[in-house]
Amino acid sequence: MQLITSVTSRTEQLEHFSKRFARKWKNYFSIDGLIPGIEPTTEQKHVVQSSEKQLIIRGSAGSGKSLMLAYRLIKIMEQADTSQKILYVTFNQTLIQDTIKRLRLSETYNKLADNHQVRLYTYHDLVREILVKECGYNSINKLKLNRAAIAEHEAFIEAKIKVILTRFNESGEFKEHEKLFKTHSAKFLMEEFFWMKANGLITKEKYFERERTGRGHSPNVAKKQRPTIFYLFEKYNSLMRTNFNVPQLDMEDYALYLLNELRINPRASFKYDHILVDEFQDLQPMQIKSLVALTKSTITLVGDDKQRIYKRTPVSYKDINLKVTPRMNQKLSKNFRSTKQIMNLAGGIEFTDIENVREDNQEFFREGEKPVIKHFTSMQRMANEIIRNIKSIHKSNPDKSIAVIHRYSQEELHQYGNLKDVLDREFDVIGIDKYGYRFDYNKVKKPIFFTNPFEIKGLEFDHVFVIHFDRDHYPSEQRIEDLNVKYGGDKMGEDNYEKDYDEILNDEKKVLYVACSRAKQELKIYFSGNKDTFVSPFIREFNTRDYESNFNKKKYQK
């Protein structure tokens, strides 16, 4: 029997095909040449073309995650028929400043910027502005999220909780509640309260039901002690709201306040059409949940669990309203930042909580010299070596960027004779506070960037010197001392102590990974001490064939 297709039917099919083709063509966006000096890969182009409303992009350091956000931002601007409200948000101000500089290198971005409302914020600056300008809050304390500011903020919160504990014990209230252990200190309570808020556990029911994952293994909290802790939690919140001329928010309050405003007004005028989130692995669950609620159309998040160094609790997609499917969860495997030799070294670091990406299975676009791990008998000898190296770079390649990554404490940074003090006498050295207006991609001779691994996240430099690669700083001696204080001394052999100790080592490996993976062309890892045996125990993470040294590296084989 002959099948006959009517003209009407064929016309409908052609119209349907045309509409589908038009939609696909409209969604297509060429990213070639968008940002000078960067040639996008086919893999990156595929990710940029994704039309998913919720998109998570993962990839190791140097795979172009932040670049994907910049491309997707420009794509949104290019393809929109009307003016769009677009938000780019990340954890710290340095990365915001760096993103602004990179975007301004793009002629396409500069042409389109006036047609849209594009805002780039740290998470806490964003929420602060929304609450004050849009929700009627008179004033909110401003939080800077660098390492020193976080320490200062936590010291302030811990002091207030000490006041609450003192009042609780001296007033006799404690007799009406289950007794806490001596180890349930003000610092422990601060961390507990932050963990509760980060996970949205702000009611008795939620707090009592939730397993305390992400809270370490000591001190223990018995179920019958949770009502006491929650009572103190409420006392703390009341003190922060009523004991100051301006109500105080701690760093985890911001998300809860924003979520509450969005719950009251789900169609709020301050919502954004599109949100792009960089380094999302360092944001807490409620912070991400609030950003999901803040968007009207699309949200794109990029991150790398191997670089999660601001840790409070693991992220649960279910709790933050993200629907994880294969199409919305994409991974970048190619590396265009660092040389293969640098990432061979950094990729040797193994983590207990993350499935390692085998760096030798990645595609690299750069080759170079092997990284160097070098021992010096004094800091002055190390300083002289760094000075010689920098002068050589300035002479042969003055346009190359240079960073020195340290682990000095804030007090040590202000002491006479430290490495920064020595470098200051020879070069234009800047820290995190001056990066925004002193570091210029278009400037031929760039200043030397001197900072710690926490402030350098998301940035990249041609030449990187990692110092303090010794057993006092990798892992951090201070973190081990804090652990011993918590347990009342070194308790190796005790199961819970060893679990917490291993978690510290794992976190500290991530700090080292971040430091090493900032290097594009050359990586040098230095330490000073009487003997090379003072080297960090993490040296055993590295394969000896992946680095050069001035000592017998065979004794540090894996």
Per-residue pLDDT tens over the stretch 20-55? 444 444 455 677 767 666 667 777 777 777 888 898
For residue 27, what pLDDT is reported? 54
Give residue-wise pLDDT tens across range 380-398.
Answer: 999 999 999 999 999 999 8
For residue 9, what pLDDT is reported? 61
For residue 461, what pLDDT is reported? 93
Long-range Cβ contacts of 173-178 (<8 Å, 24+ apart): 177/227, 177/228, 177/231, 178/222, 178/224, 178/225, 178/227, 178/228
Highest mean pLDDT among 163-167, 456-460, 495-499: 163-167
CB 364, CB 343: distance < 8 Å: yes
CB 302, CB 68: distance < 8 Å: yes
Residue 433 scores a pLDDT above 50: yes
* Residue 288: its H or E element: helix 285-294
For residue 26, what pLDDT is reported? 47
For residue 64, what pLDDT is reported? 77
Residue 320 scores a pLDDT above 60: yes
Cis bond upstream, residue 475 (ω within 30): yes
For residue 98, what pLDDT is reported? 86
Q: What angle do CA 441, 442, 445 make, to 5 degrees?
A: 85
Residue 529 scores a pLDDT above 80: yes
Cis bond upstream, residue 219 (ω within 30): yes
* Residue 464: its H or E element: strand 461-466
CB 526, CB 469: distance < 8 Å: yes
Closest CA to 322 of 349, 364, 291: 291
Tokens of 349: 């670091």
Give residue-wise pLDDT tens across range 167-225.
Answer: 999 988 888 999 998 889 999 999 999 999 999 999 999 999 888 776 766 678 889 99
Torsion, Cα 507 513 515 517, to 10 degrees, reads: -150
- Is this model's pTM higher than 0.85 or not? no
Q: Which residues 6+ apart lie within 8 Å of 173 measured at CB? A: 167
Between CA 336 and CA 41 the distance in angstroms is: 9
CB 535, CB 360: distance < 8 Å: no
Q: What angle do CA 518, 523, 529 make, to 5 degrees?
A: 115
Residue 494 scores a pLDDT above 80: yes
Give residue-wise pLDDT tens across range 340-370.
Answer: 899 899 989 998 876 544 444 566 677 899 9
For residue 308, what pLDDT is reported? 65
Between CA 71 and CA 75 the distance in angstroms is: 6
For residue 16, what pLDDT is reported? 53
Instruction: Give the β-pairing of 402-405 and 448-451.
Output: parallel
- Average pLDDT score over residue span 509-519: 93
For residue 45, what pLDDT is reported? 77
